[in-house]
Every structure is written in C-alpha cells, then in structure tokens.
Structure 1
C-alpha cells in the first residue's frame, strides 16, 4: 500500500509546490504591471468632479488596465500625517511634513522613474541618495498686479526698485485703490515676508538653516527685519487694506481681479485663481519683488507638496506611472499656475514670461535642517504670526527680542 500511495503523495506535494511558485510569480508580475485601481489623496477639493474626472479618463486611455480614483481633504498635512502614521493610506499621497529620515518607512523610492536628472529639488524629499518624493510643481514669489489699476493710477512701468515700489503704492492710494493686499487676518498669506523675501534679500537659499549658527537670528537690520520692515512701512503709510483684520483670501482674489486692490505679494500659483475670480489673463501681470534699490534681484524657487507612493501599495507600478503621468502629461502645471518641476518643460503661464523678462536670479530651495525644524517646533514659532506682531507692535524691537529669546531657549534645551 505504501508503494502505491507514496508516488501519489509526492505528486501532490510537487503539484502544490509548483502552484505556489506559480502564484508568487504571477503576483510579482501583477505588481510590475500598470493595472488595477489606485487612489490619490489630494488637497485640491475644487478639482473633484471636475478636472480630476478628465485626468482619470486620460490616464485610463493611456493605460487601459489601470484606473485612478481621487480623494480630497481640506486639512492635508494633519490628515495625511495621521493616516501615514497608521500605515493605512492611499497609493499616492502628497507627502506630509515628516522628517526625511522617516521617508523609507512609508514610501517607495522613485528613482526608477528616470526623472532624477530632469527635476528640480531632487534632494528635497530624499534620504540616503534615494528619491522618495517629487514636487508637484515649483513656485516663485513676486508681485501679482492688476494692469488696469496701474493704468488708472498713471503707472506706466512696473517698479523695479524699492523706492519705485513705494512711489507706485502712493499713486495707487491717491487713485482710490488698495495698493497692496495683505490678507493680514488670514495669517498664512503673510508667509513671503518671513521666509521667501528674506531669503531673496540674503541671496542665500540656506538662510533659514543658517539660523542654527546663532542664538539671535532675527535682527532689524538683517534680511528678516528688512523684509518685515517693508510690510510694516506699507501698513503705516496706509497702503494696505483700510481694515487689515476684515479681509479674507477668497474676497481678496475678487478684489484684485476687479482692480479694487492693485497688488499682491504671492506665489505664481495664485495667478490662475485670480483670473478665475473675474478678469482676463491679459489684465494680470507678475514681476519680481523689488526689495531694495538695486536693479537686480534674487527670487526663490520653492517646491510645492511632493508626490509619494505608498511602499505597501498593491499596485506600485500603477502608482508610479500615475506620478510620472501627472508630471509629464496631465497639464496640472498649467492649471495650477506652477513652474514645471521638470527642468526641460517651459511654464505655460504667460505671466511668468513677463516675470522672467526682468532676469531674476533663482535660488533653488534646500531641505530644512531637522535641527532647525526641531528648534522652531520647540520654540512654537509660527513665522506668519511673527510678521503680524512685528507690523502691529509699537516697538518692533520688542518682537525681535521675544522671538530671539524663544529661539535661544529652545536651541539650548535641545543641545544645539
């Protein structure tokens, strides 16, 4: 009996072994195929049921066996951070503010997309020479302006020095215009004055990281104080909104579009939003911020959120293909008003042609030093709140002293 059943048993074992191997190979092949359904978590709630429907259709046309679904959240960083930390998150996300050293825990390397030599900010979301995130687009900071408002005020050329900027603001005020929108109450809109403009003034992309070398990185006469001093001066001269605590972002876009407000210091990403708020593209211009009286200026080139692929995605090849498709084929750069992150792709936003005609020097952003981030968090420094306090203080030096003390105490407690 044993001689009869032994070959049968061996045959069954062999069959199971072959089947198991076959499944492993099949599953492995599936992961390398651009197929299946993936989900992309985004902050663009306005594109759900609109532009994203078109993206899903076009992606499927290129990859007939692949499908993409979209999920949008309003509090992107907080929500994504929680979901990433739990290990349960969509196939493609916009990477939240986590240390780069944590990227390999959650995300798949993107070096195999063949884009490393073509993109800006290759090292921004990298760790140990592997790229884990690629920015959705690049932004600079300049002055978005309403051309008709300028014409109504008798301004025939855009200001290229700080004195000319103040003179233009004075003409706009005399013409009944709000020279510069601040959205002071919304706070987040003040970010250029605390980071991008100081970096441009310093001519050093590492300005914020260089704070690590000082116990008093903020001074009235250094790039931080100079930048905040400009908006404080604009406030004191009545060039901002009559009641700076009553405006909001959505209404300001409409007021810029109508010409009630003339200028806005903001990223190029805002250009399409202002146009959509009620004006023709030809009526909106964009030029580098003239922070001093020289005729040459630096501007920052900063990344936006970065695409990341869940390392445990069931369809990693599809997720990576979608990231590459978004960068190369979707047209999201144009829709969102970005400078393409692909160096060989020219921006389609016409206002950037005007901006670049002034030949600004771009400073490509560098990654935040983890030690600096730790100090900022420990000191509970909110850079936009810093600007608010500086502008409204009877003596701005007291605000400088306050933030320097918070910085120094946090730095010391962390042993830096």
Structure 2
C-alpha cells in the first residue's frame, strides 16, 4: 500500500525541506515542538463550537507501534487528556497489523481509531467516518489518497522514502571509504563487512513485514514508475522473471546466497536488529527514514547513523520511492467518534509523532527535522512519487489471498519461476472470479 506525494512536495524537497534538516531526530519520548501546539481546533463537530468540553469519553487506538505502548504512548495519553480533560485515550498494539485489522473490521468489531488496511477505497465508507470536518484538508498532503465520493476517510501519519540506513562506524571498521553508488559497489562493501565479521544487512526475514520494502518500494524504483502494483490488473500473469519484482527479489536472494544477511534468516528478531544496527554488529537496513530514530533510541549516536539511496543496478542513476505512511481512520460506529476525530487531529498537529518517527511531516508548512534526510538528498536521487492504489488490483490481491512479503520469502528460498507460477495462478483465478 503505497500512495502518491503531490507534486508540491517535490518542490519543497528540492528547495527547502531536506536542505533545512539541521537537527537530527530523536526518540527520547519527549514531545516535539511542532510549532502547531497553539493552533486552535477548526470549527467542526470534532472541535468546534462546543470547545474542549464537547470532546469526552474513552476511545481506543489500534496501533502497529508495539514498541511505544508502555513508553511514549503513556505520555501521549497524558498530554491528550491535558488538552481534553473529559476524554481518555487508550492504546492497543498488534503485530501483523494489516491482516489482523482486516479480520476485525470484517466482523464489525474494531477500535475507535485505526490505521487504514489494504482495502479498496470504495469500501472505506463501509467502515470509517469522513474526516473532512477536522479542518485539515487544505493543510495536509495526501488528502485524496484515502478518499472516495468526494470525502476523505484517512489522514496520513507522515511520509517517507526508502534507502540504506547504515552504521558509519561499521563502514569505517570495514575500510569502506565511499558510499556505494552502484549495485556492484554495494556488493563489494558487503564483502568487506562480512570479512570483518559484521553482518552486512539486517533483512528481518522471519518477521516478514520488513520485506515490504522489497515489494512496494524497490520495484517502482527499478521500473521508474509508481504504477508497478496497479499495472498488475492489466495481466493474468503480472509476476515475470524479467520484471521489476523479480529484479528486486533477486537482489535479496543474491544477498542471502552470498551470506550477506543474518546467519539464520529463519530466526531473525526485529527488536533485536535495531540494537544490532545501533551497535554496529549489523551494518545496514533497506528501510524507510522512519527507522532511523528507532536505531538511535537503541543506543546509536545520531551522527553515527547515515542514509543513502539503494543502488539496484550499475547505471549510476538511482530512483527512490516517496510515499505516505499509514493513514489514520475513525470507526464510523464509534460511540465517541468526535473524540476519536479530535485524537487524529491532535496526532497530526500536536503530538510530535512525525519527529519521533523520523517522518517527513504531513502538514505542508512543517519542516522535517531528520538530519539524515539531508545526506540522502545529497545523492540526487530521482523521486518516484507514489500513486493511489487501484481498487481492482487491491481487490484481486485480497481475493487471491496473496501476501506479498510471503512471496518474497518463497522466492528467496525457492525456485523463482515455480513461485511466480503459483502466485500468477492465484492472481488469474481471483481476477476471473471478480470479473476483471
């Protein structure tokens, strides 16, 4: 699930946003001063004429950030209640978020505030309340990406790009003096790291969800178009050995075969990997800028963590994806829907979560504060802006029960052709059954 950043942000990133990042993000748990904390709520049913007194009752936010529940979210709850004394926010965290939430929304029993799962935009009104009354539509990016029928049902929590997050001390220890700009140079750097006893790249293969970068981010960069996933609907066999998916998965397969990943990829651990990258035991991730602050929180100094575009061939020219992260949504059947909406607005304007997460803020007038984005931009990648999900492609993927990260796992460990034949059949059968 990857969506488009409007053209306006390209100009921002080129002219000021990334160049302005002079302060490294941190994950201390202290709220960031977003510059918007004094902004009065818009005149709306969620925070309008009734003022703070109209926001009341308890709401629950179902989050994917399992690492924040007993830490930063406690402070969020305290600060939200300070603004809205009659309201209370609770947090519930789950792993395998997309799959778990789709099961729960299908039953009709799900929390007040969630992150939008991979469902067709046409289905959004079945489950979620419109958020147009929050007064944010003219202030944010991506307002049309989780929208249908002229109404906005999801607001992005932030934006990010994807590349190589690396430990500079690990590079120094291995004698790497220049950042790799081609795939062969990346392999050569990994050889040096491996020779020094440093794991070149943390794949988090077993955890599966970190493999999304190899599905949603690298293929569009390789293809030079953000329509790779959407274009699948044009074919009964979208997964080919000469296509962008195979090229992306093939790089990971090669890394595994060369011994550049964790010694046992079937027993990886996401939380431990952050500590290992922070300490320099592991050298790199292929992930978004959102992980940088998490590595810093796990013991690294900000100045020791860098970020550069992923070189996927030897041309010397690099495309990089630019996408929104998860979108907040409100259960249309929430007993305290106005409070739930107020919390979404508070998360965007007041919480400081974008700084904490290392995001490019979704508010148009707010600058990111992650120094590593400046380094990333210095390599002059061409940003491939995401596009809205094609409803037919999403519906076909869901009907076929295709789990893209699981496909990556199968491809890396098995025969690529056999794997693609299997998923192409599932795709074709689902597409036919849906009448596409």
Question: TM-score normalised by the shorter chain: which range applies?
Answer: 0.7 to 0.9
Equivalent residue in structure 1 for 2:92, among 60, 72, 76: 72
Contact 1:211 1:372 in 2 (8 A): yes
Equivalent residue in structure 1 for 2:144, among 103, 123, 132: 123
Q: Is 1:291–2:312 an aligned residue pair? A: yes
Equivalent residue in structure 2 for 1:155, among 176, 197, 212: 176
| Deviation for aligned residue 1:78 | 5.3
Which of structures 1 and 2 has the larger relative contact order (alpha carbons within 8 angstroms, sep 6+)? 2
Partner Cα distance (1:263, 1:49) in 2: 27
| Deviation for aligned residue 1:239 | 1.5
Aligned-residue CA RMSD (Å): 2.6
Alignment of 1:244-263 (within 5 A): 244-263=265-284
Contact 2:162 2:287 in 1 (8 A): yes
Partner Cα distance (2:406, 2:394) in 1: 17
Alignment of 1:91-170 (within 5 A): 91-170=112-191
Equivalent residue in structure 1 for 2:397, among 376, 379, 382: 376
> Residue by residue, what CA displacement relative to the aligned partner does 1:333-375 show, whole Å, maximum 9, x if unpaired?
1112222122332222222221222232333333322221232
| Deviation for aligned residue 1:413 | 3.2
SS in 2 for 1:358: coil
Contact 2:53 2:86 in 1 (8 A): no
Equivalent residue in structure 2 for 1:400, among 406, 417, 420: 420
Contact 1:121 1:364 in 2 (8 A): no
Q: Is 1:221–2:239 an aligned residue pair? A: no
Unaligned runs of 5+ in 1: 1-27
Partner Cα distance (2:77, 2:203) in 1: 37
Greater Rg, structure 1 or structure 2?
Answer: 1
Unaligned runs of 5+ in 2: 1-47
Aligned residues: 387
Answer 1 or 2: which has greater helix percent: 1
> Residue by residue, what CA displacement relative to the aligned partner does 1:224-272 show, whole Å, maximum 9, x if unpaired?
1111111122122222222222322122222211211111111222222
Q: Is 1:55–2:70 an aligned residue pair? A: no
| Deviation for aligned residue 1:182 | 1.5
Equivalent residue in structure 2 for 1:242, among 236, 260, 263: 263
Structure 1 residues 104, 251: CA separation in 2 closer, same or farther (over 3 Å shift)?
same
> Residue by residue, what CA displacement relative to the aligned partner does 1:111-148 show, whole Å, maximum 9, x if unpaired?
23332233232222111121011011223211111100
Partner Cα distance (1:167, 1:45) in 2: 36
Partner Cα distance (1:84, 1:45) in 2: 20
1:36 match: 56
Contact 2:118 2:394 in 1 (8 A): no
1:200 match: 221
| Deviation for aligned residue 1:82 | 5.4
Partner Cα distance (1:149, 1:356) in 2: 22
